[in-house]
Amino acid sequence: MQAFEYANPMTVKDAVALLGASWTDANVLAGGTDQLSLMKDYIHTPKRLVNIKNIKELAGIRKAGGNLRIGATVTLDELIDNREVRMAFPSLVSAARGVGSPQIKNMGTVGGDLCQRPRCWYFRNGFGLLAQKNGRSLVDDGQNEFHAIFSQGPAKFVSASSLAPALAALGATVTIAGPNGTRSVDVASFFVAPSSDQQREVDLKPNEIVTQVLVPMSGAKNASYEVRLKDGLDWPYAAAAVALRMKGSTVESARVVLGHVGPTPVVAEGAASALAGKSITEEVAAQAGESAVQGAHPLSGNAYKVQLAKTAVKRALMEAVKRA
Amino acid sequence: MQSKVHVRTAINGEPAEFLCEPRQSLLECLRDLCNLTGTKEGCNDGNCGACTVEMDGRIVTSCLVLGVEAEGAQIGTVEGLARGTELHPLQKAFLENAALQCGICTPGFLVAAKALLEQEPEPSEARIRLWLANNLCRCTGYDKIIRAVQQAAREMKEARP
Ligand SMILES: Cc1cc2nc3c(=O)[nH]c(=O)nc-3n(C[C@@H](O)[C@@H](O)[C@H](O)COP(=O)(O)OP(=O)(O)OC[C@H]3O[C@@H](n4cnc5c(N)ncnc54)[C@H](O)[C@@H]3O)c2cc1C
Ligand code: FES
Ligand code: FES
C-alpha cells in the first residue's frame, strides 16, 4: 500500500476541508472493507485518508419528519438490528443480511455500501472502470459471466451495492456534504453509468461526503430477493427490490428495481406499470418479471442472468404481499 | 515516508501501545509490532477470516482495519482465549475433534466462534455455518470445525451455574 497521511476529523466540516479536488489527493475511510483492499491493490492511491467514523453527526438512525434518517456510518449490523428499520423496511434488512459475513456487517457502513467500487475483475486488476485495452472492451470478449445484462454505453460492470436497489425502490435520497454546503440526490440518480474511465459510477465529487440516507416512511409494502450461489460470502448474481403502495389488495403504484445486472441499479418502469391496478398473484408477479427484463442485452457468458432477474422480481413481489 | 503514529490501545484486557505507519493494518501491527503472532494472515483482503479479532466487542477482519484505528479500542485476539494454561472450551473441543490440520485458519475460527457463543449460547448447525461463512479452511472440510463448536456450546452450557 502506498504511504498516506491519516486524518481523524470530528466534524463533517473539517472532514470536507481535509478532502481535495482530485481522487488522488484524499479519500474517505469508513468501515474500510473496500477502501483498504483498493489501496492494497493500488487502485486507489490517496495521499491522505480521512476517517469519518468518529464524526458524531454521521452516526445513528432516527425518525426525521416523514423519513427514517440513517447516518452514513451506521454499520450493516446496526441497520439489521434497528427496530424501526425492521418494522418499516424488511427489504433493507434482507438486503443487508445477504452480506453473509458477520465481520463485514460489523465493519461495513451504509455510506460505504453505496460508494463501494465495482467488483469487475478487469477494474480490480488495473484496466480501469470501462475495462478497455487499445479502445476495445475486455469484457465483451472476456470473462463476463458476472457482468451487466443492461450495459449502458461502454459501462459493462455491475453496481456492487446490495442496499442500493432496496433504497432506490423505497424512494430514498442521499444527502451529500461538500465545500459549498449540502445537496440531496435520489438514490436512483446517485448511480450513473460512466462514459469515460475518468468518471465515477456515483454522483460524488472527490471533496464530497455522503452524510445520510433519508428513507420515506410511506407505508409501502416492500421486499427484496437476491439470487446467490450460496448462503455465504459473495455478491448476488442478480437481485430485485420492490415497493408497493396498496389500496386493499390492489397495487396503486409500484417501484421495481433490479440489482447487480447493470452499472447502476436498474429501475424497471415496465414492470411497475404492469403491476398498477392489479392484485399480486403468481401470474401477475411472473409477468412483472418478464416486463422487468425487456431490453436486456446479455453478453457472451451471462444470458443466465436474465432468468435470475425475472425470478428475483417474482419472488420479491410474492414476499412483499405475503406480509400482513 | 510518513511519520509514525503512536497508538494506545488495549489488547486482551491489558494496556498496549505501538508506533506504526498509517498504512500498516491492525493485523501487521499485532503480528510484527506487538509480537502477537496468533492472528494469521491468509488473503489480506477480507475474504478468508484468518485475521479475525475482536474490536470493541465485535469481530472484524484485522487486515481491513488500520493499526491507527485501534487507538482507544479494546482488541481481543486468540492469545486472550486461554486462562493461563487452562484452554478455552472451544480450544479443547477443536483439539478433541481434530478440527484443524495446518492450523492457519484456527485462530480466526476460534475468535469468530467465541463471539457467536457469547451472543447465542445454543446456535443451530445452520446458524454456526452461516456465522462462519467468512472463515475459510482449506484442510478440514468444515464438518469437524462445526462439531467442535457444537461440543463447546454444550460444554459451556453445562458449566454455567
Ligand atoms: C468479503 C466481502 C464480501 C462482501 N459482500 C458484499 C455484498 O454481498 N453486498 C454488498 O453490497 N457489499 C459487499 N461487500 C462490500 C462492502 O465492503 C460493503 O458492503 C461495505 O458496506 C462497504 O462499507 P465500508 O464502510 O467498509 O466502506 P469503505 O471501504 O470505507 O469505503 C468504500 C468506498 O466508499 C467511499 N466512502 C465510504 N463512505 C463514504 C461516505 N460516507 N461518503 C463518501 N464516500 C464514502 C470510500 O472512499 C471508498 O471509496 C463485501 C466486502 C467483502 C470484503
Ligand atoms: S487475512 Fe484478513 S480476511 Fe484473510
Ligand atoms: S486447518 Fe488448514 S486451513 Fe484450516
Distance from CA of A140 to the nearest CA of B (A): 27
User: How far is Cα A206 from Cα B158, in angstroms, rounded to an integer?
Assistant: 56
Note whether A32 and A107 are within 8 A (CB): yes
CB-nearest to A103 from B25, B52, B69 is B52
- Residue A246 has a pLDDT of 95
**Do residue A107 and residue B22 have CB atoms under 8 angstroms apart?**
no
Question: What is the three-state SS of B14-44?
Answer: EEEEEEECCCCEHHHHHHHHCCCCCCCCCCC
Residue nearest atom 38 in ligand 1 by C-alpha distance: A112
CB under 6 Å to ligand 2: residues? B 41-44, 46-51, 61, 63
The residue written with cell numbers 413481489 in the block is A317
Q: Number of C-alpha atoms within 13 angstroms, CB side, residue A51?
A: 21
**Do residue B115 and residue A102 have CB atoms under 8 angstroms apart?**
yes
Q: Tell me the per-residue pLDDT of A133-160, one tens digit each, with 9 for 90 and over.
A: 988 999 999 999 999 999 889 999 999 9
Q: Is the pLDDT of residue B34 over 70?
A: yes
User: How far is Cα B67 from Cα B9, in angstroms, rounded to an integer?
Assistant: 10
Sign of CA dihedral A89, A95, A98, A101: negative
User: How far is Cα B30 from Cα A62, in angstroms, rounded to an integer?
Assistant: 37
User: How far is Cα B157 from Cα A23, in angstroms, rounded to an integer?
Assistant: 52
State the distance from the centre of ligand 2 to the C-alpha of A196, rounded, in angstroms: 33
To test ligand 1's pocket by mutation, which of A1, A39, A115 has the most ligand atoms within 8 angstroms of CB?
Answer: A115
Note whether B55 and B70 are within 8 A (CB): yes
Residue nearest atom 3 in ligand 2 by C-alpha distance: B46
Q: Residue A30 CA to chain centroid, in angstroms?
A: 16
Q: Tell me the per-residue pLDDT of A196-240, one tens digit each, with 9 for 90 and over.
A: 999 999 999 999 999 999 999 999 999 999 999 887 788 999 999
CB under 6 Å to ligand 3: residues? B 100-105, 137-140
Note whether A72 and A29 are within 8 A (CB): no
What distances in angstroms separate CA B13 from CA B55, B76, B79, B86, B134, one per listed residue? 12, 8, 11, 17, 26
Q: Confirm whether pTM is higher than 0.90.
A: yes
Residue nearest atom 3 in ligand 3 by C-alpha distance: B137
Q: Give the domains, in start order, of chain B with CATH numbers.
A: 5-80 (3.10.20.30), 89-159 (1.10.150.120)
DSSP state of A57: G
- The pLDDT > 70 percentage for chain A reads 100
Q: Tell me the per-residue pLDDT of A246-272, one tens digit each, with 9 for 90 and over.
A: 999 999 999 999 999 999 999 999 999
